[in-house]
């Protein structure tokens, strides 16, 4: 069955946008920043929801409105040093949170489905 990427939806919280609500393993998560205030600085925190009271912090990316606008992308991968050994640990519900003194932005939720981008199967073989 050929892979057909889903349409980009562009969910937004303040100046931050992600391109989809659902991803498959191997797809890039695109993060656009539009009209970030010059005094707005902080960190984008990608967290995997473990259960109703716990999350796993996967990655942090800094943002700084006093610097030229930057857009980012992130691919979720296995990472044995963080204890992410199997693809099952990446599948499920995620949040992108925004942390900083002057940030009043709500989180962006997305889901990672139990499907692998064709050609990327080897990247998701257990690593530990």
* HEC assignment per residue over 34-92: CCCCCCCEEEEEEEEECCCCCEEEEEEEEEECCCCCCCEEEECCCEHHHCECCHHHCCE
Residue 16: CB atoms within 10 Å? 22
pLDDT value, residue 70: 80
pLDDT value, residue 104: 82
pLDDT value, residue 3: 84
Residue 88, SS3 per DSSP: helix
Low-confidence ranges of the chain (pLDDT < 70): 1
């Amino acid at each position: 069955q050929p892979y057909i990427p889903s349409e980009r939806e562009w969910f937004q919280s303040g100046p931050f946008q992600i391109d989809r609500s659902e991803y498959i393993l191997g797809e890039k998560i695109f993060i656009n920043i539009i009209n970030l205030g010059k005094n707005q600085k902080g960190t984008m925190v990608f967290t995997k929801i473990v259960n109703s009271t716990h999350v796993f912090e996967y990655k942090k990316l800094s943002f700084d409105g006093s610097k030229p606008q930057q857009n980012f992308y992130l691919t979720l991968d296995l990472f044995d040093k963080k204890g992410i050994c199997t693809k099952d640990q990446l599948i499920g519900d995620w949040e992108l949170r925004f942390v900083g003194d002057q940030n009043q932005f709500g989180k962006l939720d997305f889901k990672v489905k139990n499907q692998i981008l064709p050609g990327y199967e080897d990247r998701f073989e257990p690593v530990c």
